[in-house]
Structure 1
Amino acid sequence: MSIDWTKAPEGANKAGFTGPDNYLQFYRIPGMFGDYDYWSEKRGWCGNDFPTCANYLFERPAKVEWDGQGLPPVGTVCEYRHMIWPEYRPCEIRYISEESLVAYDDAQEQFYRTCDMLFRPLPTPEQIAAEEREKAVGDMAMSIQGVPYQYPTLYALFDAGYRRQESST
Structure 2
Amino acid sequence: MTSIDWSKAPAWAKSLCLNPAHEQAWLGDEGYSYLIGNGHMVEWTNECAFDHSAFKLVEARPTPWDGQGLPPVGTRCVFSLSQGTEWHKELRDGVEVEILAHYRPIGMSTVAVFAFPCPDGGGREVEQAVADRFSPLPTPEQIAAEERKKTIQEMLDVDQCGTLSRTKFCNLLYDAGYRKVEGGKP
Distance, in Å, in 1 between the alignment partners of 2:35 and 2:131 is 47
Aligned to 2:79: 80
Aligned to 2:95: 89
1:134 aligns with 2:149: yes
Distance, in Å, in 2 between the alignment partners of 1:86 and 1:140 is 28
Aligned to 1:120: 135
Q: How many residues in Structure 1 have an aligned counterpart in Structure 2?
A: 129
Aligned to 2:4: 8
Q: CA deviation at 1:65?
A: 2.6
**Cα pair distance change 1:86/1:143, threshold 3 Å:** farther
Aligned to 2:158: 143
**Cα pair distance change 1:78/1:99, threshold 3 Å:** closer
* Aligned pairs (5 A) from 1:11-160: 11=8, 14=16, 36-37=35-36, 57-83=56-82, 87-97=93-103, 98-103=110-115, 105=117, 110-115=125-130, 118-147=133-162
**Structure 2 unaligned spans of 5+:** 10-14, 38-53, 104-109, 171-176, 180-186
Q: Is the 8 A contact 1:100 1:111 kept in 2?
A: no
Backbone CA RMSD of aligned residues: 4.4
**Structure 1 unaligned spans of 5+:** 17-24, 39-54, 158-162
Q: Is the 8 A contact 1:95 1:103 kept in 2?
A: no
Q: Is the 8 A contact 2:70 2:111 kept in 1?
A: no
- Matched to 1:69, the amino acid is Q
Q: CA deviation at 1:138?
A: 1.4
Q: Is the 8 A contact 1:74 1:93 kept in 2?
A: yes
- Matched to 2:16, the amino acid is K
Q: CA deviation at 1:115?
A: 4.3
Could you tell me the percent identity over the aligned residues? 28
Q: CA deviation at 1:86?
A: 5.0
Q: CA deviation at 1:123?
A: 1.1
Q: Hey, which bits of structure 1, 4+ residues long, moved more than 6 A?
A: 25-31
* Secondary structure, counterpart of 1:36 in structure 2: coil
Q: TM-score, normalised by structure 2?
A: 0.47
* Secondary structure, counterpart of 2:72 in structure 1: coil
